[in-house]
Amino acid sequence: MNKKTWIQKDYDLMKIVQLANETTHSFPMATSLVNRKIYNKEDARQYLRPDISKLYNPYLMKGMKRAVARIKKAIQKGESVVVYGDYDVWVDGETSTTILLKTFNKLKHPVNFYLPNRLEEGYGLNNKAIDKIKESGSTLIITVDCGISGVEEVEYAKSLGIDVILTDHHLPSSLIPDAVAVIDPQQEDCGYPFGMLAGVGVAFKLACALIPDLPDHDDFIDFLEIVSLGSIADIAPIYDENRTIAYHGLKNMNKSNMIGLRSLVNESGLQDKKITSGDIGFKLAPQLNATGRIGQADLAVELLMSDDLNESTFISKQLKELNEERQEIERRIVAEAIEIIESDPSYEDDKFLIVASEGWHTGILGIATSKICDKYYKPTILLDVEDGMCKGSGRSIDGFDLHKAVDSIRELTSSFGGHEQACGMAIKLENVDEFRKQINLYTDSVLTEEDMIPKLKYECVIDEDVIDFNLMKELAWLEPHGVGNARPMFRINDMKILDSRTIGKDSNHVKLKVLQGVKEFDAIMFNSEMTEELTIGNRIDMIVTLDVNEFRGRKSIQFMLKDYKNTIDN
């Protein structure tokens, strides 16, 4: 198990006690709120029970007025409109496309949609797609979750007599495409109060501008469900407006009025369960994004738009099969990457891992890269090699700006784009060795050895006296979790191990029974192995999240073990 550094979050005892007294929350709950910069009763109420009426005015977003005016003109003149989405490995593009399709349905103006095939066309706007759209007779393209870097493509569309409206959420470069309207809250001069919307969130704001009374419609919750699905899947930070949307979108997702979404929920075995952000991340999103990874992204949109039970059930089963295929390919890529790294001593001193191989599915490299990055806790790029060209994905560790690192040697790449924690890129095979050398020189200059140790940030130390179902009920109010609102971790000291065994098909998980005072608890650590510290009778300190396990109608509090140390070592 990788060595980890334990860090207690900023601990302002006075503010914690004050909030606990004002709200009657328990000390661990008050600590968790203060650590999220919630200091008074009213802010706590809004955070835990977000008011949907406090969503921001969409017209605060730069470009919104121009976009709405151009779309209204298209509707009045009966123009053919195409919604151009991202194939998207995180569902953001598919859900963004769905939002605008549903919006135009409500406006009674039918539109077409286009999702590029990632295996043949790659990411974002491309001229071949624009040619196809021209041939179809369309005169307006509205992008979702892409386009902010498409300067040349927008010019090409304009030369063919096609107007373009860009909606995106990625970081713009210094050169913004000369589109009819550009809607991206990350633009420097955009005055929108919250700049961290996912692509689907930006599409939703356009929908709200086009249909001002949307919140009064019965199907407003359908929109919220789609936006929360895409935002959580895209790992958008779950605070501010994103939290409000996710909170209300998740409320009744297992009983969704959208037949397609309900079929997906049922196929994932979640029909009788209150759906959480974790369910989206680990069950719903993987099935939807498998379509984009394998190269059939249209299926996800078709499912979300379907109002036919038989059709949606059939598509859901297809998605499940595609996801199983994706998982098998992913396992192979990860295993091959590990073999390359472990068999080559030169990787030991690299702080940045660059691994290239033939026959790797480019649509699945992103998630495989995440697994390698997590295993070695090093920034990582995996590249597929084909005909002298390499295409791949990068993932980073906390505190390391991947986009800035690659940008420092972008002359060695053929193309790249992304953000601080993830990127996609293409590079000539002949440049890979030099790229590996240069990016490791850069990484050596900005990362210390301490930076290469993963950090676990916990809320506070707790003991058996406060661990009960009342605390579990309070902590559940912090859902939905995600970036910016991670599931709270706690430190529990001096737990005696009463029982220790491996579980799982491959015996790759560890289950403990531990004791503190007079209370016994089960603790599970996934993807771990038995170690000397986990022997019966030993005493350990633990970093855990708390969970409620239900088995045969009996509920118990269970620790999800993130790390441990011998008590005598602390």
pLDDT tens digits, one per residue of 483-522: 889 999 999 999 999 999 999 888 889 999 999 989 999 9
Element spanning 418, H or E? strand 415-418
Cβ-based neighbour number of residue 404 at 10 Å? 12
Return the residue matching tokens 């493509």: 153
In the sheet that holds 181-183, the strands lie side by side as 112-114, 81-84, 140-144, 163-167, 181-183
Amino acid in the structure at residue 548: V
**Mean pLDDT within 306-328:** 91
Domains and their CATH numbers in the chain: 5-49+456-569 (2.40.50.460), 54-318 (3.90.1640.30), 344-452 (3.10.310.30)
Tell me: pLDDT of 1 over 80: no
Number of other CB atoms surrounding residue 7 within 10 Å: 10
Specify whether the CB–CB gap between 299 and 94 falls below 8 A: no
Q: What angle do CA 8, 374, 449 make, to 5 degrees?
A: 65
pLDDT category of residue 74 using cuts at 50, 70 and 90: very high
How much is the pLDDT for 50?
A: 96
Give CA–CA dist 1/542, Å, rounded. Answer: 14
Tokens 């995180």: give the residue.
Answer: 90
* Eight-state DSSP code of residue 162: -
Cα 287-382-147 angle, rounded to 5 deg? 65
b/e code 216-251 from CB counts within 10 Å (16+ = b): eeeebbbbbbbbbbbbbbbbbbbbbbbbbbbbbbbe
Calculate the dihedral angle through the C-alpha atoms of 206, 207, 210, 211, rounding to the nearest 10 degrees. Answer: -150
How far apart (Å, rounded) are the C-alpha atoms in residues 214 and 103? 9
Specify the pLDDT at position 11.
83
CA 123 and chain centroid, separation = 18
- Residue 356, pLDDT > 70, answer yes
The predicted model scores a pTM of: 0.89
Residue 88 pLDDT = 55
User: Which pLDDT value is given to residue 433?
Assistant: 96
User: Hey, which bits of 101-246 come out as E strands?
Assistant: 112-114, 140-144, 163-167, 181-183
Cβ atoms 534, 510 nearer than 8 A: yes
Tokens (6 digits) for 416: 């790249």
Burial call 424-433: b when 16+ CB within 10 Å, e when fewer: bbebeeebbe
How much is the pLDDT for 500? Answer: 95
Q: Is the pLDDT of residue 3 over 90?
A: no
Tokens 């050596």 correspond to: 444
Phi-psi region of 305 (alpha: psi -120 to 50; beta: other; left: phi over 0): alpha
pLDDT digits (tens, 9 = 90+) for 434-485: 999 999 999 999 999 999 999 999 999 999 999 999 999 999 999 999 988 9
